């Protein structure tokens, strides 16, 4: 059976995409830190920005670990192997869903205010 894995730049591009995702989360969190307390008049709203900054750091660390694990798996077993890191993808989907729901609640609360 021939190997389909090409050790080119694909793993590096994937890692850069995860870095951009973590950077976007950090920037959104900084914007939330700046705007939410002013918009709603309470410092408690800055908690969302702090949680987002912590989450972006965790996402960056986990994505680096995931990309290295996938690269090692591809080099050792080829592309027919089961890829690690599914938990990171699931947690990212759950996190984005929670952020969207909280954002929706904030918008509805602001409109009803």
Interior CA angle at 83 toward 25 and 2, to 5°? 135
Is 2 part of a structural domain of the chain? Answer: no
Q: In the predicted model, what is the mean pLDDT of residues 54-76? A: 88
- Nearest CA to 18 out of 58, 52, 51 is that of 58
pLDDT at 5 over 70: no
Is 4 part of a structural domain of the chain? Answer: no
Is 3 part of a structural domain of the chain? Answer: no
Task: Note if the pTM is more than 0.75.
Answer: no
User: For the chain, how many structural domains are there in total?
Assistant: 1
pLDDT of 67-92, one tens digit each? 888 888 888 887 777 777 788 888 88
Identify the band that residue 1 occupies on the pLDDT scale cut at 50, 70 and 90.
very low
String of DSSP letters for 4-31: ----SSHHHHHHHHHHHHHHHHHHHHHH
- Nearest CA to 68 out of 18, 2, 3 is that of 18
Domain extent for 88: 10-112
């Amino acid at each position: 059976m021939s190997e389909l894995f090409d050790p080119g730049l694909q793993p590096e591009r994937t890692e850069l995409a995860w870095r951009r995702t973590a950077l976007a989360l950090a920037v959104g969190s900084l914007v939330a830190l700046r705007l939410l307390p002013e918009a709603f008049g309470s410092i408690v709203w800055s908690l969302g920005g702090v949680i987002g900054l912590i989450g972006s750091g965790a996402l960056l660390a986990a994505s680096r670990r995931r990309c290295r694990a996938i690269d090692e798996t591809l080099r050792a077993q080829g592309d027919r192997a089961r890829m690690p890191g599914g938990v990171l993808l699931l947690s990212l989907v759950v996190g984005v869903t929670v952020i969207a729901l909280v954002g929706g609640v904030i918008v509805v609360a602001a409109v009803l205010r």
